[in-house]
Chains A and B, each alone.
Chain A
Amino acid sequence: MSSYVVRRLFQAVPLLLIITFIAFGIIQSTGDPLAAYTVEASLTSDDIARLRAYYGLDRPLPLQYLSWLKNMLTGNWGTSYYTRENVVDMVLNRLPNTLLLVAVSYALTLSVAVIVGIATAVRQYSLFDHLVTGLTFIGIAIPNFWLGLMLIIVFSVQFKGAGLPYFPVGGMYDHRVGPSFGQFLWHVILPAATLSFVMTAQYIRYIRSSVIEQVHLDYVRTARSKGLTEIVVLGRHVFKNALLPLITLIALDVPNILSGTIVIESIFAWPGMGRLFWSAAERTDIPVLMATLVFVSTVTVMSNMLADLLYAVVDPRIRYT
């Protein structure tokens, strides 16, 4: 097992190298970072030449890549072309916000999916089951940004207009009040609900079908025939066997949810990594783009690895040598 872990880690290195190479190659052709300066046009020719040299933009590309790689490996991810902030700081500033959003989304997804999934499996073909099945189909087909817009129309605009309790349209807290846990909860609900909707729909379907599958297996019949109560049967046996593989599903969903944050964070003004990436992309802020890309890719590679390992742990039939 441990040699497997080591081997996987070892494989991840060239993978990440390929990723940085692809990313660097593409990003370099996304436009000129100095454009943000010439937009306002009081730059003289001297200014342009001076700034190009300062940012190293006058060097050949392979050299730029190598020096970027060298710096990155030594922990120097550069400074943003625009804010001149240390990129590591920028990422670390935004990361907690995205993690919070993602964590709440996962919590929402899991609690809803487990309860509803099991309930529909137990009451297969009931009205409730059909209703949920219909909703899950919609959940999988709905574009998340549109869902976000609709939620804003209903819960922020209409509700507020009608004098009902409403949710804020964006941000992490109201500046008149300042940050607090209550504020955070109030602000996180809509974006987290939007982000988790698709996932919840998928998980409900997954849980429903795997619980149904388990219920018909021999060991459950055995357990039932032993006279165990339904709750015990479900909780002890079915639950464990049906839901453990869910852990790997969660790990595999990490890249999807990260992609989702780009759109959701920009609709709901959530100051996280997705928005950092998007605003950097709009301005061709190369150091920030590279850092976010490498970062999310590393997270993805790690979560894939984790998924494999967890799978091995929960399913003893799989052996890694």
Chain B
Amino acid sequence: MEIPHEPTTSQGGPRLESLPGLIWRRLRRHRLALVSVFILAVLIIISFGVPLFVSEDDANRLNLRAKLEPPSLAHPFGTDDIGRDILLRTIFGGRVSLRIGLLAALLSMAIGVSIGALAGYRGGWLDNVLMRFTDALLSIPTLFILIVLAQVFGRSITIVTIVIGALSWMPVCRIVRANVLSLKEREFAMAARALGSRDSRILSRHIVPNTIAPVVVAATLGVGRAIIIEASLSFLGLGVQPPIATWGSMLNRAQGFLVTAPWVAFFPGILILVTVLCVNFIGDGLRDALDPYAQN
């Protein structure tokens, strides 16, 4: 991803190092973040790579002769109550969970940035209306409204993604709005306006790039949040249609076998934990790397 940077060459002075280069150099020093990038990359490669060789039908194939088998060489993660291989389903589930997490975070970032920028830049009644709406959404505890929405709109990967994305943009929106409010009074924006730039140009060329750092951090952390939210919804039985696996829906099923087959509950859960942990470390790393006050 290209990180847009502040006042471009036309206004900026000479630059010793490109910003992405700088961020990467700082990120590299954050060892946990680096390890996390590596683990996450492996997870993504497995989740999206294995399905190229194994069909989803095979991964979801029932084997009634091998119900609830503990982990073994044949089934490293064991099997579930209808004899499906948990390792394969965890991989396919990872694909869905990761996709939902990433896309929902992207969506919430897009909505949050647009609404926040609009409200902050325009101000006035529009700002008022948008912010009251944001407040209203923020005031209903997330899971309560998500449950109701998930019930209204049904059960498909796309819908779950949209619902989660459409309900997690509010924090990003507030960050962006606050940033825009303070930035638009700063010199470079005033100067641009004085030079006759159009609003949209000022927004996209000057203000948005300047708020990108906190947004990137928030969005990264948002991926972890979205994965957990998806898992919670699926855990409550509101996720995607069977036989599609997600980590949350596998845990939903596992609830009945905590005593007899704890491995059914263990593996999907530990993968959620590891994924979210990695995402959070990367978010932390990015925060440090993007911090303009950090010393080199």
- Report whether chain A binds chain B: yes
Q: Chain B residue with minimal CB distance to A259?
A: B143
CB of A142 within 8 Å of the partner chain: yes
Selected contact of A18 from candidates B133, B255, B269, CB within 8 Å: B133
CB of B224 within 8 Å of the partner chain: yes
The answer on a CB contact under 8 Å between A153 and B139 is no
CB-CB under 8 A from B273, the residues of chain A are 138, 141-143, 146
CB-CB under 8 A from B136, the residues of chain A are 15, 18-19, 22
CB of B77 within 8 Å of the partner chain: no
CB of B272 within 8 Å of the partner chain: yes
CB of B203 within 8 Å of the partner chain: no
Q: How far is the CA of A53 from the CA of B176 in the complex (A)?
A: 49
CB of B142 within 8 Å of the partner chain: yes
Q: Chain A residue with minimal CB distance to B148?
A: A26
Question: Majority SS of interface residues in chain B?
Answer: helix
CB-CB under 8 A from A22, the residues of chain B are 136-137, 140
Q: Chain A residue with minimal CB distance to B238?
A: A281
Q: How far is the CA of A134 from the CA of B45 in the complex (A)?
A: 26
Report if A149-B255 is in contact (Cβ < 8 Å); known contacts: A23-B140, A141-B273, A143-B232.
Answer: yes
Q: How far is the CA of A297 from the CA of B145 in the complex (A)?
A: 10
Contact-size category for A: 35 or more
Report if A27-B148 is in contact (Cβ < 8 Å); known contacts: A141-B276, A157-B258, A157-B259.
Answer: yes
Contact with A along B114-152 (1 / 0, CB 8 A): 000000000000000000110111111111110111011
The answer on a CB contact under 8 Å between B141 and A149 is no
Total chain B interface residues with beta-carbon distance under 8 A: 41
The answer on a CB contact under 8 Å between B251 and A14 is no
Report if A259-B277 is in contact (Cβ < 8 Å); known contacts: A18-B136, A149-B258, A278-B236.
Answer: no
Q: How far is the CA of A300 from the CA of B143 in the complex (A)?
A: 13
Task: Say how far B260's CB is from chain A's closest CB, in angstroms.
Answer: 10
The answer on a CB contact under 8 Å between B132 and A18 is yes
CB-CB under 8 A from A19, the residues of chain B are 136, 139-140
Q: Chain B residue with minimal CB distance to A147?
A: B269
CB-CB under 8 A from A152, the residues of chain B are 258
Q: Chain A residue with minimal CB distance to B281?
A: A137
Q: Which residues 137-176 of B sit at the A interface, judged by CB distance below 8 A? A: 137-145, 147-149, 151-152
Q: Chain A residue with minimal CB distance to B248?
A: A143
Contact with B along A283-320 (1 / 0, CB 8 A): 00000010011001100110010000000000000000
CB of A150 within 8 Å of the partner chain: yes
Selected contact of A289 from candidates B132, B148, B231, B258, CB within 8 Å: B148
The answer on a CB contact under 8 Å between B235 and A15 is no
Q: How far is the CA of A278 from the CA of B279 in the complex (A)?
A: 30
The answer on a CB contact under 8 Å between B140 and A296 is yes
Selected contact of A263 from candidates B143, B152, B281, CB within 8 Å: B143
Task: Say how far A129's CB is from chain B's closest CB, in angstroms.
Answer: 15
The answer on a CB contact under 8 Å between A138 and B277 is yes
Selected contact of B141 from candidates A150, A153, A296, CB within 8 Å: A296
The answer on a CB contact under 8 Å between B265 and A153 is yes
CB of A262 within 8 Å of the partner chain: yes
Task: Say how far A12's CB is from chain B's closest CB, in angstroms.
Answer: 9
CB of B254 within 8 Å of the partner chain: yes
CB-CB under 8 A from A14, the residues of chain B are 132
CB-CB under 8 A from B76, the residues of chain A are none
CB of B49 within 8 Å of the partner chain: no
Q: How far is the CA of A63 from the CA of B280 in the complex (A)?
A: 47
The answer on a CB contact under 8 Å between B139 and A281 is no
Q: How far is the CA of A297 from the CA of B269 in the complex (A)?
A: 30
Question: Majority SS of interface residues in chain A?
Answer: helix
Q: How far is the CA of A317 from the CA of B285 in the complex (A)?
A: 32
Q: How far is the CA of A15 from the CA of B277 in the complex (A)?
A: 36
The answer on a CB contact under 8 Å between B232 and A263 is yes
Report if A143-B265 is in contact (Cβ < 8 Å); known contacts: A23-B140, A262-B143, A296-B144.
Answer: no
CB-CB under 8 A from A289, the residues of chain B are 148
CB-CB under 8 A from B243, the residues of chain A are none
Report if A255-B280 is in contact (Cβ < 8 Å); known contacts: A143-B269, A150-B269.
Answer: no
The answer on a CB contact under 8 Å between A149 and B144 is no
CB of A31 within 8 Å of the partner chain: yes
The answer on a CB contact under 8 Å between B151 and A15 is no
The answer on a CB contact under 8 Å between A256 and B232 is no
The answer on a CB contact under 8 Å between B152 and A143 is no
The answer on a CB contact under 8 Å between A145 and B235 is yes
Q: A146-B272, A255-B142, A258-B144 are in contact. List 18 more A-B contacts (CB 8 A).
A: A18-B136, A19-B140, A22-B136, A137-B277, A137-B280, A141-B279, A145-B231, A146-B265, A149-B269, A256-B141, A259-B141, A259-B142, A259-B143, A263-B232, A263-B236, A297-B140, A300-B138, A300-B140
Q: Which residues of B contact A (CB under 8 A)?
A: 132-133, 135-145, 147-149, 151-152, 224, 228, 231-232, 235-236, 248, 251, 254-255, 258-259, 262, 265-266, 269, 272-273, 276-277, 279-281
Q: Which residues of A contact B (CB under 8 A)?
A: 14-15, 18-19, 22-23, 26-27, 29-31, 137-138, 140-143, 145-146, 149-150, 152-153, 157, 255-256, 258-260, 262-263, 266, 277-278, 281, 289, 292-293, 296-297, 300-301, 304
A sample of 14 inter-chain contacts (CB < 8 A) reads: A14-B132, A19-B140, A23-B140, A30-B152, A145-B232, A146-B272, A149-B258, A255-B140, A256-B141, A281-B151, A296-B140, A297-B140, A300-B139, A304-B139
Q: Which 9 A-B pairs have the closest CB atoms?
A: A259-B143, A146-B269, A141-B276, A255-B141, A141-B277, A18-B136, A259-B141, A258-B141, A30-B151
